[in-house]
Amino acid sequence: MAQQTKYPFKFLDAYAREDRDIFFGRDEEVEALYQMVFQTDLILVYGASGTGKTSLIQCGLASKFQTYEWLALSIRRGDNLNESLEKALAAYDDPETPASDDLDWLTDSSETPAQATESPAARRLKNLYLRHFKPVFLIFDQFEELYILGTKAEQNRFVDTVREILRIEQPVKVLISIREEYLGYLYEFERKVPELLRKKLRIEPMNLEKVQTVVQGISRLPYSNVHLQQGAEAAIGEGIFEKLKERENVLSIELPYLQVFLDKLYLQITGDRSRQAAATITVSELQKMGDIGDVLRNFLDDQVQENARALGVPPDTIKKLLSPFVTLDGTKEPLSADQLHARLPELDTPFIARSLQAFQNSRILRFDEKEQRYEVAHDSLARQIATYQDAEDIALQKAAQMIRTQMLLDADRREVFSEKQLLFMEPFFEKLQLATAEMDWVEQSRRHWENIRSEEERRRRAELEATKKRLRLVRGLLLVAVLAAGAAGYFGWDARQQTRFANQKANEARENLEKMQTAERARLQTEISKYLNSAEKMRKAGDPDMAKEILLAAPMPDSTHRDIRVDSLLNLLK
Q: Distance between CA atoms of 442 and 429, rounded to whole angstroms?
A: 10
Q: How many CA atoms within 13 Å lie on the side-chain side of 38?
A: 8
> Rounded to 5 degrees, what are φ and ψ at 220?
-80, -10
443 falls within a domain: no
- Of 167, 188, 203, the residue that ends a domain is 203
Q: Are 356 and 331 within one domain?
A: yes
Antiparallel, parallel or unpaired: β 71-75 and 136-140: parallel
Residue 394 included in any domain: yes
Domain count, the chain: 4
Sign of the four-CA dihedral 365, 366, 368, 372: positive
Q: Are 309 and 355 in contact (CB under 8 A)?
A: no
> Are 260 and 137 in the same domain?
no
Q: Is residue 16 part of a domain?
A: no
pLDDT value at position 468? 77
Report the pLDDT value the prediction gives residue 293, as an integer from 0 to 100: 60
Q: How far is CA 197 from CA 55, 159, 398, 427, in A?
A: 21, 14, 32, 43
Let me know: does 534 contact 424? Beta carbons within 8 Å: yes
Examine residue 502 and state whether it is found in any structural domain, yes or no. Answer: yes
From 160, 179, 203, the end of a domain falls on 203
In a shared domain, residues 238 and 344: no
Q: How far apart are CA 8 and CA 21, in angstroms?
A: 9
φ, ψ of residue 15 to 5 degrees: the values are -80, 140
The verdict on 309 and 280 lying in the same domain is: no
pLDDT at site 281: 92
β-pair type (373-376, 365-368): antiparallel
- Please indicate, yes or no, if residue 565 is contained in any of the structural domains: yes
- Burial of 522 per CB tally in 10 Å (0-12, 13-18, 19+): exposed
Q: What is the CATH classification number for the domain harbouring 309? A: 1.10.10
Q: Is 401 exposed, middle or buried (0-12, 13-18, 19+ CB in 10 A)?
A: middle
Identify the domain containing residue 567 by its residue range. Answer: 467-573
Residue 253 lies in a domain: yes
Give the total residue count for the chain: 574
Phi and psi (nearest 5°) for 308?
Answer: -60, -45
**Count of CB atoms situated within 10 Å of the CB of 228:** 22
Residues 408 and 549 in one domain: no
> pLDDT of the chain along its 574 residues, tens only?
456 788 888 888 889 998 888 888 899 999 999 999 999 999 999 998 888 999 999 999 999 998 888 899 999 988 899 999 988 888 876 544 443 444 444 444 455 555 556 677 778 888 888 888 888 999 999 999 998 888 888 999 999 999 999 988 888 999 999 999 999 999 999 999 999 999 999 999 888 999 989 888 887 888 889 999 999 989 999 999 988 876 667 788 888 888 888 998 999 999 998 999 999 999 999 988 866 667 888 888 999 999 999 999 999 999 989 988 988 777 888 999 998 888 888 889 999 999 999 999 988 999 988 888 999 988 888 888 888 876 666 676 677 767 777 776 677 777 777 777 777 777 777 777 777 877 888 888 888 888 888 888 888 888 888 877 877 777 777 776 666 656 555 555 455 666 666 667 667 767 776 777 777 777 777 777 777 777 777 777 677 777 777 777 776 655 444 555 556 666 655 5
pLDDT at 465: 82
Q: Which residues pair with 139 in a beta bridge?
A: 74, 175
Helical segments of 133-184, H only: 145-148, 152-165
CA 140 to chain CA centroid, nearest Å? 18
Residues 471 and 565 in one domain: yes
Asked whether residue 197 falls in the same domain as residue 230, the answer is no
pLDDT at 248: 63
CA angle 344, 345, 351 (to 5 degrees): 80
End-to-end CA distance of the chain: 75
Residue 451 lies in a domain: no
Distant-in-sequence, close-in-space partners of 413: CB < 8 Å, separation ≥ 6: none
3-state secondary structure (DSSP) of residue 206: strand
pLDDT at residue 428 in the model: 72
pTM of the complete model beyond 0.75 = no
User: Domain check: are 484 and 569 in the same one?
Assistant: yes
